[in-house]
């Protein structure tokens, strides 16, 4: 049984544990930061006003989850939470490739041609994975992380449910809707393996009891998402392929660099300002 670390002060006494824990929290925080940023780009562009409000609320919650993880890094001695979120170099971010992909053609300020089917399938896949990961984190050897996961799950339940409702409604509507969902699922599947990469410290994360193994996370993910996809009459895409680069080692697309520059634009004007 792994040793339980109750406080940041205890974790800081074990350098190997601290470094491994920090790597995991960076992944958690950066995933939520990027997926919520892509969600924010849908503001005013969702299919109807009720969805605009709902998606905005989900995005705000998810950004809040990222903030909780960055605050945890601050308590572990890695600097000010806002600076960690906004002032790192692109290669220092650890988010999965799936979370950084653009919503579609164009820009949210000018000629956006976004794909709502992709929004549904990407966010659904992310939330199914996030649920499996939060379940695992509730038993983490770092008690503050286990407590945070339990708090986040109360909101995340509704986020996952939201995207399942969209799949239920559209998959039983028209042939065009089914075709669009199938195409979006296929596109999502190109990057979904990036979620399951724990990076170079992955084995140590599992050994130290910080999180369950990738195999366990995959089993839980596939069990839930395959039942939903097949139950909705959509085409199950099968096993996903491993990617050469996933973002966990700091290798990102130009799309990510562009998104980061927009995300950080205001904060970089005056990092010392009080809001």
pLDDT, one tens digit per residue, over 33-55 is 999 999 999 999 999 999 999 99
CA pair distance 214, 64, nearest whole angstrom: 25
Q: What's the CA angle centered on 31, arms 26 and 37, to 5 degrees?
A: 125
Give per-residue pLDDT as tens, 180-239.
Answer: 999 999 999 999 999 999 999 999 999 999 999 999 999 999 999 999 999 999 999 998
* Mean pLDDT of the 70-88 span: 97
> What torsion do the CA atoms of 104, 32, 153, 170 make, to the nearest 10 degrees?
0
CA pair distance 263, 88, nearest whole angstrom: 12
pLDDT class of 110 with cuts at 50, 70, 90: confident
* Mean pLDDT of the 2-26 span: 97
82 CA to centre of own chain: 18
CA pair distance 86, 15, nearest whole angstrom: 25
What's the chain's average pLDDT?
A: 95
* Mean pLDDT of the 80-105 span: 96
pLDDT class of 58 with cuts at 50, 70, 90: very high
Give per-residue pLDDT as tens, 225-258.
Answer: 999 999 999 999 998 888 877 799 999 999 999 9
Please report the sign of the dihedral spanned by the C-alpha atoms of residue 64, residue 68, residue 69, residue 75: positive
Q: DSSP 3-state assignment of 162?
A: helix
CA pair distance 137, 46, nearest whole angstrom: 32
Per-residue model confidence (pLDDT) at position 275: 65
CB 97 within 8 A of CB 195: no
CB 160 within 8 A of CB 220: no
What percentage of the chain's residues is helix, strand, coil (to nearest 5)? 65, 5, 30
């Amino acid at each position: 049984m792994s040793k339980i670390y109750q406080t940041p002060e205890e974790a800081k006494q074990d350098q190997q544990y601290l470094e491994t824990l920090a790597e995991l929290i960076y992944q958690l925080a950066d995933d939520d930061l990027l997926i919520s940023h892509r969600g924010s780009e849908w503001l005013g562009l969702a299919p109807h006003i009720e969805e605009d409000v709902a998606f905005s609320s989900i995005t705000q919650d998810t950004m809040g989850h990222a903030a909780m993880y960055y605050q945890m890094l601050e308590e572990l001695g890695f600097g000010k939470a806002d600076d960690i979120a906004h002032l790192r170099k692109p290669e220092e971010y650890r988010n999965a490739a799936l979370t950084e992909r653009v919503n579609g053609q164009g820009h949210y300020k000018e000629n956006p041609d976004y794909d709502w089917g992709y929004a549904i399938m990407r966010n659904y896949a992310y939330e199914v994975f996030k649920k499996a990961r939060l379940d695992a984190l509730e038993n983490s050897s770092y008690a503050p992380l286990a407590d945070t996961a339990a708090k986040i799950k109360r909101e995340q339940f509704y986020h996952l449910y939201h995207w399942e409702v969209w799949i239920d409604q559209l998959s039983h509507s028209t042939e065009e809707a089914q075709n669009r969902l199938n195409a979006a699922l296929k596109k999502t599947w190109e990057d979904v393996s990036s979620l399951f990469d724990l990076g170079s410290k992955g084995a140590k994360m599992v050994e130290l009891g910080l999180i369950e193994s990738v195999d366990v996370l995959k089993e839980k993910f596939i069990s839930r998402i395959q039942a939903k996809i097949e139950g909705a009459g959509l085409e199950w895409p099968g096993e996903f392929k491993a990617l050469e680069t996933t973002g966990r080692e700091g290798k990102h697309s130009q799309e990510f660099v562009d998104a980061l520059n927009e995300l950080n634009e205001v904060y970089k004007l005056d990092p010392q300002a009080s809001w």
